[in-house]
Amino acid sequence: MTMREPGDQEVYHHGQGVSPGVAYGPAYVIVPDALRAPRREIAPSDIDGELERFESALAATRADILRVKAVLEHADKSDEAEIFDSHLLILEDESLLESVRTTIRNDRVNAEHAFSTRVLDAVDRIENSQSSYLRERVRDIRDVEHRVVRVLLGQREPAVGDLLQNAILVAHDLSATLTAELDRDRILGFATELGAATSHTAILARALEIPAVVDLGPIIHRLSHGESVVLDGREGLLIQNPAPDTLAEYERIKAKIERKRAEWVSLAGVPGRTLDGEPLTLLANIEFNREVDAALAFGCDGIGLYRTEYLFLQSGGDVPEPVQLEVYRGIVRRMDGRPVTVRTLDLGGDKLLAGMEGEENPFLGWRAVRYCLDRPEVFLGQLRAILRAGAEGPVAIMIPMITTMEEVDAVLDLVGSARESLRSEGLAHAESCPVGVLVETPAAALMAERLAQRFDFLSLGTNDLVQYTLAVDRGNRRIAHLYQPFHPAVLRLIREVVDAAEAAGKPVNVCGEMGSNARAAALLLGMGVRSFSMVPARIPRIKQILGRVTVEEAAEVAREALEQRDSDSVKAIVDRHFGERFHHAATR
């Protein structure tokens, strides 16, 4: 590791934390190489040989990607292995490959130049798309192009086997292929100039439990190979040339994280209860089946929200019923009798499949139940798969983005049709699978009384409820400060939903970020909520927090909070009552 010289300045680089944890050590800097596919004319007599060379490169690349998949599958990371199915599909895209062959024949140019040119044409079209999902897939395409061209040029990928022991990898960007091959025993974490939380690289980092920060901007030219750095995947920081005091502080943070994790895991078998003994249900939100292990380790009482759209996004298109069934059935079996609530497709907004057109106002557009009702064949396939998985254990169906009673009628009719088709085919399924609604718009909240009459349970999706109630795009940095979960208007809508569920004798759950927020959880308890669903790692923290509060105290605080004029006043009330008890808990 490069030693810190007297006078060296500590520099903070801010990015986006996509995989939590902290690490410190020497930087292993990968400078982007100028991989070029120079144009070379070929003689007519060499065309067949060039085409053969192209086909051999495709075969070699395919074999290498299959090798990476096999390594992941052998490590029991089948979800991550499936990411590379999209890479394989690119290698099988006949329209792309035929255009390359045509270019070789007609323009009489070398294979690497023809392939690179045609791929860049495709990338330009995708980058001009309004679909953020399609734009993210550009990395997969460029990864494949990079690998094929390297084979044709006779070059190998930059070696990572000679990485410094216990190093932090710093790169312009990392392909999913390279990320999957990182040695967790040698890599402490990684940081990239580009990237996003939804990228396959970020997904793999979380699966491999490697701290990661992306979207740091141009930093490589400011770092030296072997220079000391600190990586903070919680706060999205890369600290260059950390001072001794900073290193000492991160040593304490790391030790505290390890102690806290051990403490949380030790609470897994302790039931959730308030200070006065009121039972609580603490559930997990998941996106991928690999997260089931973490949910169980942290002591979840079940899955309160399984977001199924990511299964479709990873595949790049519709997922056949048998494939869905195996995924859902696997989760249900691993939960071993604990309930699993499956949210039906919430595509649209910023989660677009190939072929879905971008919209001027996507979050008010063709998304979630609107998409499903317009694609009944897709919706029925998913409903059937969920019902069939319910033969293995307790399963519930949850419908997102309901805003009208006409949608309610149509959804329940399709659920009935799915059940009837399974009966007629003699397929095992859950006859009494509960069907619930995700309340995430003011319209749904104000119709909660009617929704409670039609559905078996209500669940509050507070992330969207806050966004739609306050007309604030929380992804917009200019107005992000206006995204206020403690706004009295939001709290009053939540209270209406809880009251409606209670009056109808129906259970109500909170599965948005408010359920894992210390202040908000106390308020929700006071408003009558007893079931909370959150990211697995937050379960022990909320269990501890609510275990320090009585129902009567929480109800008193909630009554006072509902009378306030602004968010700051609400938070001040909670802090006045509970701040001393919550001072160790994160409240963001």
List of E strands, 435-558: 435-439, 457-460, 508-510, 531-534
* Phi, psi of 336, rounded to the nearest 5 degrees: 50, 55
CA 72 from chain centre, in angstroms, equals: 19
> Count of alpha carbons within 13 Å of 500, Cβ hemisphere only?
25
300 catalytically annotated: no
- For residue 13, indicate whether it is catalytic: no
Q: Count CB neighbours of 459 within 10 A.
A: 30
Active-site entry in 300, 372, 433, 511: 511
Q: How many CB atoms lie within 10 A of CB 197?
A: 15
Structure tokens that stand for 319 in this block:
């997922």
Sheet holding 16-19, edge to edge: 11-14, 237-240, 228-232, 22-30, 167-171, 187-192, 212-214, 16-19
**Helix and strand element counts for the chain (H, E):** 24, 16
CA distance 74 to 282: 32
Enter the tokens of residue 564. Answer: 């306030």
To the nearest 5 percent, what fractions of the chain are helix, strand and coil?
50, 15, 35
Strand partners, 575: none
**How wide is the angle at C-alpha 544 spanned by C-alphas 540 and 545, nearest 5°?**
120
Residue in 518, 537, 328 with CA at minimum distance from that of residue 433:
328
Distance CA 456, CA 264 (A): 32
Q: How does DSSP assign 296-341, residue by residue?
A: HHTT-SSEEEEETHHHHHHHTS---HHHHHHHHHHHHHHHTTS-EE
Given the residues 13, 87, 200, 577, the one annotated as active site: 200
Q: What is the CA radius of gyration of the chain?
A: 26
User: CA-CA distance, 213 to 238, in Å (whole number)?
Assistant: 7
Q: Which residues contact 218 (CB under 8 A, 6 or more apart)?
A: 193
Sign of the Cα pseudo-torsion (283, 284, 289, 292, in order): negative
Q: What is the DSSP string of 146-191?
A: HHHHHHHHT--PPP-TTPPTTEEEEES---HHHHHT--TTTEEEEE
Task: List the catalytic residues.
Answer: 200, 511
